[in-house]
Structure 1
Amino acid sequence: MNKYGFISQESPARFRDLQTQLRDRWLNIEEFDHSDYDILVVPSLTLDPSELKKVEGSHHYEERLLFSLIRLRNPRNRLVYITSQPLAPIIIDYYLQLLPGIPFSHARERLVTLTTYDAAEKPLTQKILERPRLIERIRQSLRIDKAYMICFNSTPLERELSIQLDIPLWAVDPDLLHLGTKSGSRQVFAETGIPHPDGSQLVWTSQDLAIAAAKLWERQPYLKRMVVKLNEGFSGEGNAILCLEEITKKLHPIEQASLADRIAAIFESFATMRFQSNHETWANYARQIPELGAIVEAFIEGEEKRSPSVQGRIAPTGEIEILSTHDQILGGLDGQVYLGCSFPADAAYRLQLQEIGLAIGQNLAKKGALERYGVDFVAVKQPNGTWDLQAIEINLRKGGTTHPFMTLRFLTNGKFQLEDGKFYSRQGQEKYYVATDNLQKPQYKGLLPHDLMDIIAYHRLHFDSSTETGTVFHLMSCLSEFGKLGLTSIGNSPAEAQAIYEQVEQVLDHETRVYSALRSNPNQEIF
């Protein structure tokens, strides 16, 4: 019985045999315009249930991998997409209409959408495994000898589904997932000599966490804040900020405080930490420590501070490819929660990010890791104008920067240039974008996907394949219930991408104000 309550019958050895097939097929899979494969997309957010609850509208995040439908641009590819609840047909149509040069009906015939009809708060992959007849239906939809599976993140559940379907999973082996945890990231950074914040080893109790924090404080007596992190936290939601100012006042003079005094004061202060989720409490957070583990790190201070990232991919043949760099947009009380990103990262540190990303990819590849990885950093501007980069964590999954970049790549069939870290269309035009999963406002609630399509069409906000600029939307089902939308705004310059993004927000604000006024005064003339 695993932590999801599912009795596992998996065979890791068989899983590794299946992944070997990826190496044999790799060159054909990479020939995007000429490959002939069936792609099973399982967009399950297979995360700890307590962490998943912190992501508002998380069940709609299964739509984030809908960019994969653009793979149907290849007239021989077929795709099977599975969700917990049925997708609105208009959302499917929206993505298929993006395909340049492919008749809509031709692409639609090569797409199979399946659903579990299960809205329970548990991972989609678990729901699939609980339905043997659905697994058989999936198997019948695939050419098994020409199929592979992709997912949001790989866990023993995805491994088991891969084995039951007898198709390879294009993702990291779950036995290596510890490399993408907070403590595992620190281990890889240390092995590769990458600068990273001072911090602790993995601990499993609140008391040990207090001890680790106290020892960190002794090593770094001028610290103002620390970051407490659940080892398997997601998008910064598992982070909390421990402020040391009040503790210092209680222990005045702090220089004379013993280690035991510091430990006791820190333990007492855990209850007043600032959590990044409004719904989190110390009581609930503490209950997760024995299951997930936790670490504590020095909080990096700085007057001008940014959060860049680098993304790479480890091929089944072992080659490392740097895919992109981004400057991340963070929110939450202390800027710990991922909201969006802009591509590419600032030129001041873009190439340095790529070099570090390559070194980390080589370390991961030697350990047997596969497919996508991302590395997050904190960048602080120094008095001499340079930027100090500190690595924060490794993500071994498709993250918030994955779908916007892959959307750009699939739509334009362009190429990322390692020499300058920019992306160029086939015509040699530089491409930039601003993307988010979190354009969220209360007044957006109640908007249906059909309403959004009306707004997009009327204001011409859609992506224009002739100029390869405009906006691609996702998380459309999230609008009605949560007032939340995802989008990627693509331009030929950073300023144009930002302007396109801002136009979308302004239009949505205007449209929702208009209908709010109509609801409050039906007889009022709005236009």
Structure 2
Amino acid sequence: MQIDNCAVSRQTDRFRQLQNQLRDLWQSVDTFEQDDCDILVIPSFSIDQRVGQKIPGFLHYEERLLFSLIRLRNPHTRLVYITAQPLSPMIIDYYLQLLPGIPFSHARDRLLLLTTYDGSFKPLTQKILERPRLVERIRRALRPGKSYMVCFNSTWLEYELSLQLGIPLLASSPELLHWGSKSGSREIFAECEIPHPDGSPCVMAVDDLVIEAVRLWERQPQLKRMVVKLNEGFSGEGNAVLDLQPIQHVAPGRATQAERIAVLREHLENLSFQAKDETWATFSSRLPELGAIVEAFIEGEEKRSPSVQGYIDPTGKVEILSTHDQILGGPDGQVYLGCRFPANDAYRLRLQELGMKVGQALARRGAMERYGVDFIAVRQPGNSPEWDLQAIEINLRKGGTTHPFMTLKLLTNGNYEYTTGLFYSQHRREKYYIASDNLQKPHYQGLLPHDLMDIIAKYRLHFDSSTKTGTVFHLMGALSEFGKLGLTCIGNSWAQAEALYQQVEQVLDAETKLMSDTSNLHLSSSLPISWT
């Protein structure tokens, strides 16, 4: 297939012209978002859908960007939100009722909800592009020169939609995707002299992966475990851990390199996968497409997983938005479950410093909008009380810490202060939260959004706009089928935030157990009925 280089060049020039519109308009994050503009929200997870299918309720993750509806508090802002399947009107009503001082009907009139009616495991943006009439309807709904598009992550799909609509994409160009990959992250860490685990460049074949793993083992003979990562994995689901203990008989100094290569290749069958139902056969089949790296597994009796989130505005200015301690799960503790804000005061300022270096390196490459950097923090007993920070990866997308922080910011009108690493409300109260995408239990299945609203009202679990504390729910569409819910519990201390989280969980457990017992009673009483 012959590529029309002239056409590609014209597209590239057109995309850059659109991006330059953002640079011309930009003054600051806050003033830009409060301007008289139309915001097109594309909550498409444009990732390897084989990874997405392993996450329960993955299609409902499009609801994570519904915090964007809070921007309708500005009476001149209009918002277009597109999903694969229709959203429950109850969910939309819930978010609009959070808006302080704005009549519900006024906000609803400035919100346009569109859907593709397509529940397949394709990226949402691909579904939109496959429907030209829908693209045309979106184009007609947006005001020329006053519109921009936001997304979960920027790929060539979002690039194409931006061009077709003729509006700028407030995100990094997909030409920069490499810097958000595992291997690209390692390159930036090395450039910025940020500590990170020993590891390999990206490889595209199993043979090369084995060789890089052997080389890593030879450099670090004391290693107990390694991590094999798909170069474009998501939320830890593309990671697998290789335990070296069972093959210590071929450790460096005990066998030849050829023997290590042979044994290690066979031992890859015993990888511990983070994703459910993953096997070496399915994992290795993606290497030629996605590539992979191998990295030293960081051991430690006391270990945490902090992260820092930054923002690069269209002029290239870098700002630190937040720090978090991530809550991880899965077989080896590498799957994102939730977060605590802010990160521990023992290392939050250091996180900011390292995050700023990464942001500046990304900005020099032309990156734009949000980015995140994940770390491992380890403190060994008996040694210095200092935490050792090792950078793990860069995310050029809205991550799991984006929606809870933006929910806090938009609902409280407060500010994050770089000097302390703390967030303060307008009345100078420190704010803390615990957030999760994974409050999931089998007995929550069958709960409808309307049922959840009844429970929220009965037990007063809602966010209180007068005290700026309480719980904000998301992923409500995943409750009925998957028994899965997301929530951000905002308090004036970590203790208060944790108490709010525990209250929600206890209430849901009690309510669903009560309904389950009632249902079983009705079921047992109906069994003797004869239909003959």
Global fold match (TM > 0.5): yes
Offset, 1:523: 9.3
Matched-pair contact (CA < 8 Å) for 1:147–1:168: yes
The equivalent position to 1:313 in structure 2, one of 311, 314, 321, is 311
In 2, the alpha carbon distance for the partners of 1:33 and 1:240 equals 40
TM-score by length of 1: 0.96
Q: Deviations over 1:239-258 (max 9, x none)?
A: 00000011114x3x752211
AA of the residue aligned to 1:369: A
Q: Does the CA contact (< 8 Å) of 2:373 and 2:392 recur in 1?
A: yes
**1:475-499 Cα distance to aligned partner (Å, 9 max, x none):** 0000111111100000000100011
Compute the displacement of 1:12 (Å).
2.0
| Count of matched residue pairs | 518
1:16-165 pair list within 5 angstroms:
16-27=16-27, 30-31=30-31, 34-165=34-165
Cα deviation per residue 1:40-59 (whole Å; 9 max; x = unaligned)?
A: 00000000122222222111
Deviation at 1:31, TM superposition (A): 1.3
In 2, the alpha carbon distance for the partners of 1:197 and 1:254 equals 19
Farther-moved stretch of structure 1 (19-28 vs 472-481):
19-28
Q: Does the aligned pair in 1 maintain the 2:371–2:394 contact within 8 Å? A: yes
Taking the TM superposition and a 5 Å limit, the aligned residue runs for 1:457-496 are 457-496=457-496
Task: Report SS of the residue matched to 2:199.
Answer: coil
Which stretch has the larger CA shift, 47-56 or 86-95? 47-56
Q: Using the TM superposition, give the Cα deviation of residue 414 of structure 1 relative to its aligned residue in structure 2, in angstroms.
A: 0.4
CA distance in 2, matches of 1:189, 1:29: 26
Q: Report 1:109-508 matches (<5 A).
A: 109-249=109-249, 251=250, 255-382=253-380, 383-508=383-508
Q: By how many angstroms is 1:26 displaced?
A: 1.1
The alpha-carbon deviation at position 30 of structure 1 amounts to 3.1
Is the contact made by 2:440 and 2:483 (CA closer than 8 Å) also made in structure 1?
yes
AA of the residue aligned to 2:124: L
In structure 2, give the amino acid aligned to 1:128.
Answer: I
Question: Residue 119 of structure 2 aligns to a residue in which SS?
Answer: coil
Separation in 2 of the partners of 1:33 and 1:314? 14
User: Taking structure 1 as reference, are residues 10 and 182 closer, same or farther at Cα in structure 2, changes over 3 Å only?
Assistant: farther
Give the distance between the partners of 1:34 and 1:435, measured in 2 at CA.
26
User: How far is 1:322 from its partner?
Assistant: 0.1
Tell me if structure 1 keeps the 8 A contact 2:218–2:252.
Answer: no
- Partner secondary structure for residue 497 of structure 1: helix
What SS does the aligned partner of 2:50 have? helix
* CA spacing shift, 1:125–1:9, aligned 2, 3 Å: farther
- Provide closer, same or farther for how the CA distance between residues 314 and 29 of structure 1 changes in structure 2, counting only shifts above 3 A: closer
Contact between 1:324 and 1:416, CA under 8 Å: does it hold in 2? Answer: yes
More divergent stretch after superposition (254-263 vs 392-401): 254-263
The Cα of 1:425 is off from its aligned counterpart by 0.4
Query: What is the distance in 2 between the residues matched to 1:29 and 1:138?
Result: 25
Separation (CA, whole Å) in 1 of partners of 2:253 and 2:63: 53
* Deviation readout 1:377-430 (Å, 9 max, x if unpaired): 000014211100000000000000000000000001100010000000001010
Runs of 4 or more off by more than 6 Å in structure 1? none
Rate the CA distance shift 1:239–1:26 in 2: closer, same or farther, 3 A.
same
Contact 2:28 2:313 in 1 (8 A): no
Task: Classify the secondary structure of the residue corresponding to 1:31.
Answer: helix
Q: Report what 1:5 is aligned to.
A: none
Distance in 2, Cα, partners of 1:398 & 1:334? 24
Give 2:16's aligned amino acid: R
Unaligned segments of structure 1, at least 5 residues: 2-7
Q: Aligned equivalents of 1:138 and 1:400: distance in 2?
A: 27
Letter in 2 for 1:405: F
Alpha-carbon separation, structure 1, partners of 2:154 and 2:218: 38
The percent of aligned pairs where both chains have the same amino acid is 67
Q: Is the Cα–Cα contact under 8 Å of residues 432 and 492 in structure 1 kept in the other structure?
A: yes
For 2:198, the aligned partner's letter is: D
Name the aligned partner's letter for residue 317 of structure 1: T
Please give the alpha-carbon distance, in whole angstroms, between the structure 1 residues aligned to 2:295 and 2:468: 43
CA distance in 1, matches of 2:523, 2:394: 56
Q: Deviation at 1:303?
A: 0.6
Q: What is the distance in 2 between the residues matched to 1:9 and 1:463?
A: 50
CA-CA distance at 1:10 after TM superposition: 8.4
Distance 2:401 2:184 in 1: 21
TM-score by length of 2: 0.95
Query: Gaps (5+ residues) in structure 2?
Result: 2-7, 525-532
Q: Partner of 1:373: helix, strand, or coil?
A: strand
Distance (whole Å) between structure 2 residues aligned to residue 254 and residue 11 of structure 1: 52
What is the CA distance between 1:110 and its match in structure 2? 0.4
Would you say the 8 A contact 1:326–1:401 is kept in 2?
Answer: yes
One-letter amino acid matched to 1:352: R
Structure 1 residues 240 and 523, CA gap change in structure 2 (3 angstroms): closer
Which amino acid is 1:98 matched to? L
| Alpha-carbon shift at residue 267 of structure 1 (Å) | 0.7
When the two chains are superposed, the root-mean-square deviation of aligned CA atoms in Å is 1.7
Counterpart code for 2:55: V
Query: Is the CA contact (8 Å cut-off) linking 2:25 and 2:32 kept in structure 1?
Result: no
SS of residue paired to 2:145: helix
Match of 2:529 in 1: none
Does the 8 Å CA contact 2:29/2:313 hold for their aligned counterparts? no
Deviations 1:271-300 (A, max 9, x none): 111000121011000100010000000000
- What is the alpha-carbon distance in structure 2 between the residues aligned to residue 262 and residue 452 of structure 1? 56
What amino acid is the match of 1:302? Answer: G
Does the 8 Å CA contact 1:33/1:74 hold for their aligned counterparts? no
Contact 1:469 1:490 in 2 (8 A): yes
